Amino acid sequence: MKKRVMAASSVVCTLGVLSMVCLGQMFSCRRSEKICCVDDFPINGCLTGIEHEIPVSIETPITRIAVFQHNLLTASLSSNRETPIFRLYHLPDMSLMTSFGMRGHGHNEFVSLSLYQWIEEEDGFMVYDNNRRKMVFIAFDGDSFYIDEEKSYTYPSEYAESSMNGNQFISDEISISWTNVYTESRFEYELWNTHKKRLVRSFSPWPNWVPLGENLPIVIYIKYNILNEDKSRFAAFYRNFKCWRLFTTEGRLLKEIHVENLGNRDIPGHSMRRAPYYCSNPVADGKNIYILCESNENGTPLEYLEVWTWDGEPVARFRLDRELDHFAIEGNVMYGVDNSNIYEDGVMKIIEYKLPTEVIGQ
């Protein structure tokens, strides 16, 4: 059953009630200095959202939201050929600025898009077009979007298979792709020189958190990756485990962090049937990483926002008043979408949360 919004009366904690604990007690590392355990966060609290109702003519869930040039961008893959895929809303009043892209084979049309392969740039964004097997660059001229073929990128055939599981561009020539557990590689990642069309090296052996075998689900180690601003580091959050890893983009593991404050304290358990923990694409700024996680406490499903530094240290953990599917952050404001009630009464509902400035550091 699709998750539902919690009643407002059930939210009893506020931003003014924040608990502080000793950082030395809650964040400890093994002797290897790479495997770290988190028992709690320095700041804990709750966030209550404000609903913004936006009239729309689509009936499909939002599959991606992002802040683009200080405005809110949404993506929804409707089967209706007359319905735009991308919509840009002005912040903070949420008025529609422009829309772009239809389903189809013509100009500015798309048969299929993989919105999990998404790269944001200052003057546009890239998204993977399955039909054309390329990263399409969708540019913005200040008034409208258009496809910039010169900035679009077609994968070399040597790299196409590796790129299908997800990738991130480190430079114009270097890209990191992630594999799956049934490839011949013993490693999670491949570093490619896409200009010279050659594999540079593989890195990061697969975790041994559950036994590898024929019955292992192919998505057991599915993860959400994100780059920092200068593209020197990336973080990988594992959907089915309370664990994430921090790497340099040269392939060196900096830290492996295990969150132990919920559920089993085993690292990280042995069941192959696991309830998801990390449940969204992360969002990052120059200082922090933000990601949604799910918990089931006494039979009640709850969702939290975790905040981490780019050094792999815990900052804050906030309980949300509802379960979100996607979110984006602009300054100290978080915008989220809950697809379970997105089209009630013929409106789209964007949920706005204010993040404490003392936590965000802005």
Burial class (CB in 10 A: 0-12, 13-18, 19+), 280: buried
Q: How far apart are CA 281 and CA 65, in angstroms?
A: 10
Best CA proximity match to 335, nearest among 307, 321, 354, 313: 354
Q: Give me the phi and psi of 159, to 5 degrees please.
A: -105, -10
List Cα–Cα distances, 77 to 102, 127, 141, 157, 333, in angstroms: 9, 13, 23, 27, 26
User: What domains appear along the chain, each with residue ranges and CATH number?
Assistant: 69-318 (2.130.10)
The three-state secondary structure class of 23 is: helix
pLDDT above 70 as % of the chain: 79
Task: Output the pTM of the full model.
Answer: 0.84
Across the chain, mean pLDDT equals 80
Q: Answer yes or no: is pLDDT of 210 > 80.
A: no
- Helices and strands: H and E segment counts in the chain: 3, 30
Q: Answer yes or no: is pLDDT of 217 > 80.
A: no
Q: For residue range 69-127, what is the model confidence (pLDDT) as tens digits?
A: 999 999 988 777 778 999 999 998 999 999 999 888 888 888 888 887 888 888 999 99
Beta bridge partner(s), residue 174: 193
Amino acid identity, position 303? E
Token reading at 27: 């964040």
Which DSSP state fits 279?
-
The Cβ of residue 260 has, within 10 Å, a number of other Cβ atoms equal to 17
Q: For residue range 152-163, what is the model confidence (pLDDT) as tens digits?
A: 988 777 776 666
Q: What is the CA radius of gyration of the chain?
A: 21
User: What pLDDT is attached to residue 173?
Assistant: 87
Whole-angstrom distance between the N-terminal and C-terminal Cα of the chain?
Answer: 38
Q: Answer yes or no: is pLDDT of 263 > 50.
A: no
